[in-house]
Amino acid sequence: MSTITGHSELDAEPSGDKASTGRRGDRIFGGLATGSGIFVVVLVIAVGGFLLSQAVPALLKNDANFLFDRVWEVNDSGMRFGIPDLLYVTVVSSLMAMIIAVPIAVLVALFLTQYAPKRLASPAAYLVDLLAAVPSIVYGIWGFYVFRPYTTGFQDWLAEHFGWTVLLEGPVSLGTVFLASIVLAIMILPIITAISREVFAQTPSTHKEGALALGATRWEMIRTAVIPFGTPGVISASMLGLGRALGETVAVMIIVGTNPGIFRFSLFAGGETFASKIANNSAEFGSSSKVGAFIAAGLMLFILTFLVNAAARVIIERRKAFSE
Amino acid sequence: MKLPKHVALTSVALAGALALTACGSDNNSGEGDTGSDTGSSVSGTLNGEGSSAQKNAIDEAIASFSANNPDATVNYNATGSGDGVKNFIAKQVDFAGSDSALKDEAVDGVVETDQAAERCAGNPAWNLPLVAGPIAIAYNLPGVEGLTLDPTVLSEVMLGKIKNWNDPKIAALNEGVELPSTAISVFFRSDESGTTDNFQKYLSGSAPEAWTAEPSKVWPGTAGEGRTKSDGVAQGVKNVEGGITYVEWSYATDNQLGVAQIDNGAGAVELTGESAGKALAAAEVAGEGNDLKLSLDYATKEAGTYPIVMVTYEIVCSKGLDADKTTLVKSFLKHFASDETQGTLEEAGFAPIPAEIATKVNTAIDAIS
């Protein structure tokens, strides 16, 4: 933060502190950093390549339209599979989770950085981070066995009064997408909170003090200085959270029931996401073409996550122009 | 539990001295000729993998086997029949547990039985039925005990064609029982499962007109809700009044669910170890020689027989394993097939394999070399 002007001891003997390792250190470090960067890119390409190589043979054998047909019959006698139901449940449950989690996470982050006294802020932040350490199977079991009974009354009420909207139409299944969304929201809350907290804490104090000096109340200061500064960070945080929600496997598998054959757009129906479908059937992967069908679904999830992240990049880039 | 080599050697040397005591505790099966195989304790590690339906049974057998043979370790990884067979063929495990016998038709251009024979150095792999698991029709109707269903009505219930519990078709089978008008909520396995396959085999075998779908590991119905694994469907029924599902017996009893009696044409039969064992006794051996692939008569009208039973097999090489493994496999399977071990399985929700089958299994185990 502070810039040193004038004479100092360091200037007199620049090589006296053994900090310099010569050109070699520079080359090694540079090489390691570049190597790691390349490694990640190669890794992602390799994953994509693997998914493609496994999925393509199965897709070629597919007698149904992979993108539009609502069937999943992969057995030894023939292959007919399509993903629209999986795509719908994956996207809807994740979006619902985002709608619940993002506002709460932002508020928690604002509380921790702007309102809470220092002594309270760090233990509270630590507690929120702990939520991320709970394994997803625990969330699944808790969600279905402990939490579900408390939500049935609310779900029935929603279905009764707002059933005219397609999304909340009854009847209410036992394990609903709605319930899974709430549990997913709790699961992604710590990720979004942690990153939002970091960016809000970075708000330059000059911005904040400037706003307060102009007569802004604390809420107005947050609205005019903290939130605009933190928006790109919040978007990145949300995308990380969305990534986790899209790919969540075990919790969704335990909570949500399935209704094959009868597809409903309602949140009160059951369904399967890409990841839960793969996990649920992994024990009985027999032939390679059958595995391929599930890998093809995995490939779609890969592409979906890629698209979501790309979209997030575009939004962040645009926002930057306004916030700086 | 890995012991240093000299300890293992000493214990082998001691085995002769201990043989008398070992015989005393081990050989109560009543078949005199089994003494040579199970009498002395064996050592080594045996790995198996496969069906989760038989997990509790094989765990029980492994526990008592290791108590008798402290130097031997048997591992069983319940990942599912498909994985078990795959890893058996890939030589990752020494035997596989499977809900269905090895397939002899080609899938993706490969035949399982051929692959297994290749794995066993050119010798056929045998399917040995060692665990019989009755499938319970579990329901949740407070106040209604001993509900009776027949295959046709059961098919219609599971397909959602009969929607309420007081439907005249159900009432006709349950005279004197007051049935509530509660809606029927069907639960089924959302994952692919041997239980689903066997249950459908029963329905299509005993009520081919009501159940027209081709039996497979995937549930074909569209009524009700799918839940993952046996525990999932059992919990579903437990949580929803009017729920019904098919599930391994132990899950129904553990969750205190009602278990329906089945009327296959000779009167209602309650599910017990004995009534389920009878279904097995009536089964025909479809395999050749010592390959004991069974074919169950699902439509059996034999009195006192509970017909919805699934057989899980241990799939082993008839020849071709190295000598140590062969001894160990034989010794473990002998123990598993013994009356003593089979007798302990009922508590865990399984039916003991009946004497006729047990004799054939023992003959087959003796023939492994």
The set of residues, in sequence order, having a beta carbon less than 8 Å from that of A252 and lying 6+ positions away, is A93, A140, A180, A184, A272, A273, A275, A276
List, in order of start, the domains of chain A with CATH numbers: 78-323 (1.10.3720.10)
Q: In chain A, what residues touch B222 (CB-CB under 8 Å)? A: 259-262
Phi/psi of residue B294, each to 5°?
-100, 150
Kindly state the average pLDDT of the residues B145-171: 93
pLDDT at B37 over 60: no
Peptide bond into A135 cis (omega under 30): no
C-alpha A235/C-alpha A250 separation (Å) is 26
What's the CATH class of domain B5-133+284-293+312-367? alpha beta
C-alpha B34/C-alpha B22 separation (Å) is 13
Other beta carbons within 10 Å of B195: 27
Phi/psi of residue B168, each to 5°?
-55, -30
Q: In chain B, what residues touch A271 (CB-CB under 8 Å)? A: none
User: Is B236's CB within 8 Å of A174's CB?
Assistant: yes
The binding site of B for phosphate comprises 51-53, 81, 99, 193-195
DSSP output for B286-347: -SSTT---EE--TT---TT----EEEEEEEEESS-S-HHHHHHHHHHHHHHHSHHHHHHTGG
Q: In chain A, what residues touch B217 (CB-CB under 8 Å)? A: 75, 284
The set of residues, in sequence order, having a beta carbon less than 8 Å from that of B15 and lying 6+ positions away, is B22, B40, B41
User: Is A145's CB within 8 Å of B235's CB?
Assistant: yes
pLDDT in tens, A21-73: 678 888 999 999 999 999 999 999 999 999 999 899 888 888 888 888 888 88
Nearest alpha carbon to residue A319 among A232, A219, A199: A232
Find, in chain A, the residue whose alpha carbon is nearest to that of B108.
Answer: A287
In a 3-state reduction of DSSP, which class is residue B245?
Answer: strand
Residue that has been written with the tokens 């959270």 in this structure: A241
Q: In chain A, what residues touch B235 (CB-CB under 8 Å)? A: 144-145
What is the Cα Rg of chain B in Å? 22
Q: What is the reported pLDDT for B99?
A: 85
Kindly state the average pLDDT of the residues B226-239: 91
Among B187, B192, B235, select the one facing A281 at the smallest CB separation: B192
Angle, helices A288-323/A22-61, rounded to nearest 10 degrees: 130
**A84, B39, B112, B132, B294 from B288: Cα distances, Å:** 46, 30, 16, 20, 10
C-alpha B44/C-alpha A14 separation (Å) is 67
In a 3-state reduction of DSSP, which class is residue A250?
Answer: helix
C-alpha B134/C-alpha B306 separation (Å) is 8
Kindly state the average pLDDT of the residues B279-289: 83
B221 reaches A (C-beta below 8 A) = yes
Among A76, A174, A288, select the one facing B225 at the smallest CB separation: A174
Is residue B38 very low, low, confident or very high in pLDDT (cuts 50, 70, 90)? very low
Q: What is the reported pLDDT for B122?
A: 86
C-alpha atoms less than 13 angstroms from C-alpha of B31 in its C-beta half-sphere = 20
Among A254, A280, A285, select the one facing B82 at the smallest CB separation: A285
Q: How far is B365 from chain A (nearest CA, A)?
A: 27
Q: In chain B, what residues touch A289 (CB-CB under 8 Å)? A: 108
B193 reaches A (C-beta below 8 A) = yes
Would you say B261 and B148 are in contact if contact means Cβ atoms under 8 Å apart? yes
Q: How far is A269 from chain B (nearest CA, A)?
A: 9
Average pLDDT, whole number, for chain B? Answer: 84
The set of residues, in sequence order, having a beta carbon less than 8 Å from that of A285 and lying 6+ positions away, is A291, A294, B82, B83, B86
B109 reaches A (C-beta below 8 A) = no
Find, in chain B, the residue whose alpha carbon is nearest to that of A57.
Answer: B108
Among B79, B81, B108, select the one facing A287 at the smallest CB separation: B108
Q: What is the reported pLDDT for B297?
A: 85
C-alpha B234/C-alpha A130 separation (Å) is 32
C-alpha B240/C-alpha B183 separation (Å) is 10
Q: Where are the domains of chain B?
A: 5-133+284-293+312-367, 134-277
Which of B344 and A183 is assigned the larger pLDDT?
A183
Q: What is the reported pLDDT for A185?
A: 96
Would you say A272 and A300 are in contact if contact means Cβ atoms under 8 Å apart? no
Q: What is the reported pLDDT for A323?
A: 52
Among A174, A283, A289, select the one facing B79 at the smallest CB separation: A283
User: Is A283's CB within 8 Å of B108's CB?
Assistant: no
Is residue A213 very low, low, confident or very high in pLDDT (cuts 50, 70, 90)? very high
Which of B:37-66 have CB within 8 Å of A?
52
Phi/psi of residue B263, each to 5°?
-110, 105
Residue A27: its H or E element: helix A22-61
Out of 3.30.310.160, 3.40.50.300, 3.30.1050.10, 3.40.190.10, the CATH code matching B134-277 is: 3.40.190.10
Angle, helices B273-281/B355-367, rounded to nearest 10 degrees: 60
Find, in chain B, the residue whose alpha carbon is nearest to that of A260.
Answer: B222
Other beta carbons within 10 Å of A214: 10
C-alpha A309/C-alpha A242 separation (Å) is 9
Phi/psi of residue A267, each to 5°?
-70, -15
Vertex B186 angle, CA B99 and B304, to 5°: 60
Q: Alpha-carbon torsion A289, A291, A295, A297, what sign?
A: positive
Would you say A275 and A28 are in contact if contact means Cβ atoms under 8 Å apart? no
Other beta carbons within 10 Å of B137: 23
C-alpha B4/C-alpha B59 separation (Å) is 26
pTM check: above 0.95: no
Kindly state the average pLDDT of the residues A155-175: 88
User: Is B82's CB within 8 Å of A284's CB?
Assistant: yes
pLDDT in tens, A272-310: 999 999 988 887 776 677 888 899 999 999 999 999 888
Q: In chain A, what residues touch B190 (CB-CB under 8 Å)? A: 257-258, 260, 272, 280
C-alpha B40/C-alpha B69 separation (Å) is 8
pLDDT in tens, A123-152: 988 888 898 899 999 999 999 999 999 999
Strand partners, B149: B262
Is residue B9 very low, low, confident or very high in pLDDT (cuts 50, 70, 90)? very low
Kindly state the average pLDDT of the residues B30-39: 41
User: Is B219's CB within 8 Å of A260's CB?
Assistant: yes
* Long-range Cβ contact pairs of B5-8 (< 8 A, separation 24 or more): B8/B43, B8/B71
pLDDT in tens, A88-134: 999 999 999 999 999 999 999 999 999 999 899 889 888 888 988 99
User: From the candidates B54, B55, B98, B108, which should be mutated to test the interface with A, based on the most A CB atoms within 10 A?
Assistant: B108
Q: Which DSSP state fits B31?
A: -
User: Is B240's CB within 8 Å of A261's CB?
Assistant: no
The set of residues, in sequence order, having a beta carbon less than 8 Å from that of A37 and lying 6+ positions away, is none
Lowest mean pLDDT among A289-293, B38-42, B202-206: B38-42
